[in-house]
């Protein structure tokens, strides 16, 4: 065992500050990274990797991107936080609103989980109802109410997914199957106690599984009829699949939108927003309490702005096109090598599923061969390609990836 891993495990619970980093899903020891530059990561032995994890999607323009780094450095000189109102917050809010017309007002948090938590409380406060509905395989951070999974594909009352979550709380969460229109319609025959439905419109936490259009359309219609709020969790898909997120691609307007990852330019951040009428229920104007010592901190705000202010529809066209071309070549190699694997993607998000067909929900995702993934992961690592260390996570391409990195990756694919 490496000294670094031994020391980490001595001082940090399980050696990690977030479980997937421990490589439990792929075996072996996690790689300690030391620095990043553009599309590359460098480990503590100076080995270089093409990075497709990109801080779980938070890095859109590449590591240590120049303008972002400059903004962070200049702000750090002026002070890292004051615990007061600042114009940096307003400036980033404006950038977000430009891309998301459904957001009239928003509030920043320090993580995606916090944004989720706050949005649930807000939805419950506004509707005065208790039940929340989520979909199997969608991840919304580690807040108690949503760390709940379903039985085998049937609508069930949730049972907790983690120790430490009271069953009484989990019982207020209903878990439905993703992309299952029939189940959705049957649930809404009696949804009087439902405060909100939360969904990843393009799921990224069971690998990439886009929602079917008619599924999201029905969800929009049914929630409206039932007086429940529709929450789009775009923590991954926001500023990733396109300028206006998944809601722009599908042309569907949610009541609340959750953002995170990309909007912090690689620094800790989250945000939730929607109609002013809903958002004004938050304290101090309303009765729903929500707060944060470092919420909207200047460093995250200026880093986020350095990234968002340079984005455009043209940027995404280029990014998505180059990702598409790369993935077509990758799929062709898989075909020639007769591998039972499919690639599913949305913009610059993609997953390799080791199964015969593109999955449409969590139970079909689970059909993929995780042993094959483990082998694939370690081969790629050896060849200097870093992908997320789990078969059920999404890979990403950044604006800094070029033909050169794609070629290197495809060569590794050919050797595997």
Ligand X SMILES: *Cc1c(COP(=O)(O)O)cnc(C)c1O
199 touches ligand X by CB under 6 A: no
Q: What does the alpha-carbon distance between residue 1 and residue 4 come to, in Å, rounded to a whole number?
A: 8
Which residue from 236, 259, 391, 397 is in contact with ligand X, where contact means CB under 6 A? 236
Pairing of strands 194-199, 342-346: unpaired
Residue 340 has a CB neighbour count (10 Å cut-off) of 13
CB of 383 to ligand X, least distance (A): 27
Which residue from 68, 118, 205, 348 is in contact with ligand X, where contact means CB under 6 A? 205
Catalytic residue among 233, 243, 255, 386: 233
Q: Which residue is nearest to ligand X (CB)?
A: 112
Based on CB atoms, which residue is closest to ligand X, 203 or 302? 203
51 touches ligand X by CB under 6 A: no
Which residue from 68, 102, 111, 118 is in contact with ligand X, where contact means CB under 6 A? 111
260 touches ligand X by CB under 6 A: yes
Based on CB atoms, which residue is closest to ligand X, 263 or 302? 263
Pairing of strands 48-51, 40-43: antiparallel
Please tell me the count of residues contacting ligand X according to CB under 6 A.
Answer: 15
Based on CB atoms, which residue is closest to ligand X, 255 or 405? 255
Which residue from 100, 139, 187, 243 is in contact with ligand X, where contact means CB under 6 A? 139
Query: Greatest CA span in the chain, whole angstroms?
Result: 61
In the residue annotation, 338 being an active-site residue is answered as no
Do 58 and 111 meet the contact criterion of CB atoms below 8 Å apart? no
279 touches ligand X by CB under 6 A: no
In the residue annotation, 139 being an active-site residue is answered as yes
CA distances from 211 to 138, 222, 239 (A): 11, 16, 17
Based on CB atoms, which residue is closest to ligand X, 112 or 137? 112
Which residue from 113, 223, 247, 390 is in contact with ligand X, where contact means CB under 6 A? 113
Which residue from 140, 222, 240, 401 is in contact with ligand X, where contact means CB under 6 A? 140
CB of 252 to ligand X, least distance (A): 17
In the residue annotation, 386 being an active-site residue is answered as no
Which residue from 39, 137, 141, 389 is in contact with ligand X, where contact means CB under 6 A? 141
Which residue from 89, 95, 136, 233 is in contact with ligand X, where contact means CB under 6 A? 233
The window from 161-169, 220-228, 233-241, 349-357 that contacts ligand X (CB under 6 A) reads 233-241
Catalytic residue among 139, 178, 316, 392: 139
CB of 394 to ligand X, least distance (A): 8
200 touches ligand X by CB under 6 A: yes
Which residue from 38, 125, 158, 204 is in contact with ligand X, where contact means CB under 6 A? 204
Based on CB atoms, which residue is closest to ligand X, 62 or 260? 260
Based on CB atoms, which residue is closest to ligand X, 75 or 394? 394
CB of 114 to ligand X, least distance (A): 7
* Binding stretches for ligand X (CB under 6 A): 111-113, 116, 139-141, 200, 204-205, 233, 235-236, 260, 270
Residues labelled catalytic = 139, 233, 261
């Amino acid at each position: 065992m490496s000294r670094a891993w031994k020391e980490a495990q001595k001082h940090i619970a399980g050696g990690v500050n977030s479980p997937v980093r421990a490589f439990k899903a792929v075996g072996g020891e996690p790689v300690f990274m030391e620095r990043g530059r553009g599309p590359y990561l460098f480990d503590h032995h100076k080995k270089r990797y093409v990075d497709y994890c990109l801080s779980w999607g938070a890095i859109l323009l590449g590591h240590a991107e120049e303008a972002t780094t400059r903004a962070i450095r200049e702000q750090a000189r002026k002070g890292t936080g004051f615990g007061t109102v600042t114009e940096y917050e307003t400036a980033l809010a404006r950038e977000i609103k430009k891309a998301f017309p459904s957001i009239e007002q928003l509030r920043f948090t320090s993580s995606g989980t916090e944004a989720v938590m706050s949005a649930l409380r807000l939805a419950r406060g506004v509707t005065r109802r208790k039940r929340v509905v989520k979909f199997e395989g969608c991840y919304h951070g580690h807040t108690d109410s949503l760390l709940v999974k379903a039985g085998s594909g049937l609508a069930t009352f949730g049972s907790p997914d983690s120790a430490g979550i009271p069953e009484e709380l989990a019982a207020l969460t209903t878990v439905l199957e993703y992309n299952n229109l029939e189940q959705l319609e049957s649930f809404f025959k009696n949804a009087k106690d439902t405060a909100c439905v939360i969904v990843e419109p393009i799921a990224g936490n069971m690998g990439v599984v886009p929602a079917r259009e008619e599924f999201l359309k029905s969800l929009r219609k049914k929630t409206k009829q039932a007086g429940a709020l529709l929450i789009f969790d775009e923590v991954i898909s926001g500023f990733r699949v396109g300028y206006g997120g998944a809601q722009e691609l599908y042309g569907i307007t949610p009541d609340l939108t959750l953002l995170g990852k990309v909007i912090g330019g690689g620094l800790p951040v989250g945000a939730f927003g929607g109609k002013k009428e809903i958002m004004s229920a938050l304290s101090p104007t309303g009765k729903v309490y929500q707060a944060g010592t470092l919420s909207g901190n200047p460093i995250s705000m200026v880093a986020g702005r350095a990234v968002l202010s340079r984005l455009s529809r043209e940027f995404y066209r280029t990014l998505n096109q180059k990702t598409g071309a790369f993935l077509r070549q990758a799929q062709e190699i898989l075909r020639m090598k007769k591998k039972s694997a499919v690639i599913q993607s949305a913009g610059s998000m993609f997953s390799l599923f080791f199964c015969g067909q593109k999955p449409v929900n969590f139970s079909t995702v689970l059909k993929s061969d995780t042993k094959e993934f483990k082998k694939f992961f370690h081969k790629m690592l050896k060849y200097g390609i870093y992908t997320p260390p789990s078969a059920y996570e999404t890979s990403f391409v950044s604006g800094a990836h070029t033909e050169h990195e794609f070629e290197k990756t495809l060569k590794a694919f050919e050797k595997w």
